[in-house]
Amino acid sequence: MVGDEVPRDDTQDERVADFLKSKGVRLECPACASPEANTDEATGLEPTFPFYPKEHGSAVPRAVLPIYVLTCRNCGFIRVFDRKIVGGAA
């Protein structure tokens, strides 16, 4: 469901970073090259991308894609990763 609250895991940043590094992902910000990033800034909420029906005017998503959000603490650049693929990190 959209907006379901989930507890914040303080070790999440490290686990997500370790998984991404193991896959060859560069953690430096692609915009400013800063090494400083946070994961999922919305404490208590699980970030998702909503999927809306093709019918025009629908305000309610039919499904969601759970994601990890990495935000650069220097410039604010945002990257997202599929939570189902990174799954072992959670």
| DSSP 8-class letter at 87 | G
Question: Any idea where the domains of the chain sit in the sequence?
Answer: 12-89
- Residue 15 has φ and ψ, to the nearest 5°, of -65, -40
Give the span between the Cα atoms of 15 and 26, in whole angstroms: 15
In sequence order, which ranges of the chain are alpha helices (DSSP H)? 12-22, 83-86
| pLDDT in the model for residue 2 | 45
Burial of 55 (0-12, 13-18, 19+ CB in 10 A): exposed
Amino acid 37: pLDDT: 83
Encode pLDDT of 8-62 as tens digits.
Answer: 566 777 888 899 999 999 989 999 999 988 887 666 677 888 888 877 677 778 8
Residue 90's pLDDT is what?
45
- pLDDT for 72 equals 92
- The pLDDT of residue 1 is 41
